[in-house]
Structure 1
Amino acid sequence: MNNAQAHAFTLDEIAQRLGARLVGDGSRRVSGLATLSDAGPEDITFLANRAYLKHLAGTRAAAVLLHPSHVDDCPTACLTLDNPYLGYAELSTLFDPLAARDAPGVHPSAVVAEGVSLGQEVQIGPQAVIEAGVRLGDRVIIGPGSVVGADAQIGEHSRLHANVTVCHGVVIGKRAILHSGCVIGGDGFGFAHDGGRWHKIAQLGGVILGDDVEVGSCSSIDRGALGDTVIGNDVKIDSQVQIAHNVQIGDHSALAGCVGIAGSTRVGKHCMLGGGVGLSGHLSLCDGVQVTGMSLVTNSIHQPGVYSSGTGAMGNAQWRKNAVRFKQLDDIAKRLIRLEKEQRSR
């Protein structure tokens, strides 16, 4: 990856930023971040997983961020931290091209309604639409083609990438990141059936996103039917996730790609849902629940821990045999109970 940047940093500056211990020449400058195997003499790299230790000896990087236990194995300057992966996360922000903001201001092609409240150093990109009653905090960035609906509020330092839709009345906290194509506050899936056809139920609630929330591309968070859909602080939502009306997600939880959560379900704090997990409606997951990928949760979970469902992939011939046996489980269980009773009666 080419990380050529307008800014370069000395190793002393990086060590101070990360709170790391530097072993080597602190005046050496680096201008990019790369993997152990791809890094060149102007790059800094990192080692956070022992699986990549085999690449350390041959790295051409100017410096390596790593755990203190690997200092003796490092052929170049190093910065040590007890949690090098967390250090890498902080380091990555130094070389993020998006960190170099364009000049604040409203692009001439943007449409901004009268009376909109704009904080200091707000940036509104081409073809963006900001409707009446919107309030944007300081240093908010609205990307090209994004739409912010009437009376919505977006907290300071938040960023909407291109073509994001924030619907009317939605409240977004500070430092939010919304990626392209996501829709916050669209109508929930609410209909009444009269026996012959469906009748739409107006969705009168809203959506509230806490501080430091990130929502991936093409994800949808529906507005509440009456009350609000609520996403807590520091919640991380991957791409192509569907969150239905009146769902509540607790602080510091994370949802991987293609998770689907049905209406009025509550997810606790510090929960993690793997890719493709489905939660049925009107359930509760307590704090500290982890659900592994492709699992279907149909009942509430009241104890923290790791939960799974489904079966792993196998050859089709074996799967067909097992599928037949799945249908026989009830009969097998009844026969086993009967045999156990007969055994005890002897």
Structure 2
Amino acid sequence: MTIVQYPTYTLDELADRLNARVIGDGQRTVSGLATLSDAGPHELTFLANRAYLKYLPATKAAAVLLHPDHAEECPTACLTLDNPYLGYAELSRLFDPLAARYRPGVHASAVIAESAKLGDNVEIGPQVVIEDGAVIGDDVVIGPGSVVGADSVIGAGSRLHAHVSVCHGVVVGERVVLNSHCVIGGDGFGFAHDGSRWHKIAQLGGVVLGNDVEVGSCSSIDRGALGDTVIGNDVKIDSQVQIAHNVQIGDHSALAGCVGIAGSTKVGRHCMLGGGVGLSGHLTLCDGVQVTGMSLVTNSIHEPGVYSSGTGSMRNALWRKNAVRFKQLDELAKRVTRLEKK
């Protein structure tokens, strides 16, 4: 078994990276990250949520990353900055075991077409298939069993985890992360019905992913029917998300798990879709829309803000009574209208 050796940093070095202030011994070293409760004397921890403030006095961490307002309560050295959670995100990448295991080279079992082009310092894992005309940028990592289809492009610094499928004619930007078993560029759900059976419509478009996109495991982004399905820069897509053909998603938007977006819908910039949200087809969501979990959107949204649908959970007996009343709403509305006319 290979033991990953994590780097060691002084608090001064980390503070310089984050533009944070050190309170305590700046030469104290840390070699990992952990929670407030679990951190040991050689690890850094963080406090970004007041709900965990109760764990701060007992922490055994070498140092704590926190807001200046809580520095006096910290029993050990600390790094203070206004957004400790953002600081934690930055430091987490320093201790990423995947980065520590980066080994450029091409595994002997990989199958790479002669017309494919590989950049510098690429890592191609076991049983990877790279088809004709594909272009792999510098510093790309492609995990075991992944497939890059014909004429597809993988931008510099991107990482494909194990068993990722990038189909033909897909463009993946720089520093993109595709997690295991996601499918980019599969056929969209396009069929014509003649009254008795379905006839498949060939999906002739592609998929374009911008820079710094992340796609979760087992998610699917379908290729366009004619034009491309387009995912903007810095879009974050959780696991088990379905994005249909010709959808467009604006820069910096985020989609939580099990979101489903039907064909040709356009989602703006800086939008957030909670878990299980469904968007009907051919809609437009403007910039800055947030849709809470398990909501169904059937009409376009033209003003930014938070939107919800459905009802929260309740005891079954109460839900059954309310379900009966839901059916009576139309008649009640008509009765109110008649009363208003009188």
TM-score (normalised: structure 2): 0.98
Corresponding position of 1:36: 36
Whether 1:140 aligns to 2:140 is yes
Contact residue 6 and residue 32 of structure 2 kept, 8 A: no
Contact residue 4 and residue 31 of structure 1 kept, 8 A: no
Partners of 2:236 and 2:105 in 1: how far apart? 29
1:4 Cα deviation from its structure 2 partner: 7.2
Corresponding position of 1:240: 240
Corresponding position of 2:21: 21
Contact residue 5 and residue 32 of structure 1 kept, 8 A: no
1:5 Cα deviation from its structure 2 partner: 3.7
Contact residue 208 and residue 229 of structure 1 kept, 8 A: yes
What is the alpha-carbon root mean square deviation over aligned residues?
1.0
Partners of 1:290 and 1:183 in 2: how far apart? 26
Please, which runs of 5 or more residues in structure 1 have no aligned partner?
none
Aligned 1:85-164 pairs, distance under 5 A: 85-164=85-164
1:103 Cα deviation from its structure 2 partner: 2.3
Amino acid at match of 1:336: V
TM-score (normalised: structure 1): 0.97
Aligned 1:245-260 pairs, distance under 5 A: 245-260=245-260
Aligned 1:1-346 pairs, distance under 5 A: 5-342=5-342
Identity level (%) = 80
Contact residue 218 and residue 240 of structure 1 kept, 8 A: yes
Contact residue 4 and residue 32 of structure 1 kept, 8 A: no
| Cα separation, partners in 2 of 1:112 and 1:126, compared to 1, 3 Å | same
Amino acid at match of 1:197: R
DSSP 3-state at the match of 1:22:
strand
Partners of 2:99 and 2:28 in 1: how far apart? 22
1:19 Cα deviation from its structure 2 partner: 1.2
Amino acid at match of 2:340: E
Partners of 2:151 and 2:181 in 1: how far apart? 21
Deviations 1:285-306 (A, max 9, x none): 0000000000000000000000
Contact residue 262 and residue 279 of structure 1 kept, 8 A: yes
Partners of 1:201 and 1:104 in 2: how far apart? 41
Partners of 2:6 and 2:142 in 1: how far apart? 24
1:101 Cα deviation from its structure 2 partner: 3.8
Partners of 1:57 and 1:4 in 2: how far apart? 31
Partners of 2:6 and 2:335 in 1: how far apart? 74
Contact residue 5 and residue 31 of structure 1 kept, 8 A: no
Amino acid at match of 1:141: V
Amino acid at match of 1:333: A
Partners of 2:285 and 2:154 in 1: how far apart? 28
Partners of 2:194 and 2:317 in 1: how far apart? 45
Contact residue 232 and residue 252 of structure 2 kept, 8 A: yes
Please, which runs of 5 or more residues in structure 2 have no aligned partner?
none
Amino acid at match of 2:264: S
Partners of 2:125 and 2:335 in 1: how far apart? 69
DSSP 3-state at the match of 2:312:
coil
Aligned residues: 340
Amino acid at match of 2:76: T
Contact residue 119 and residue 137 of structure 1 kept, 8 A: yes
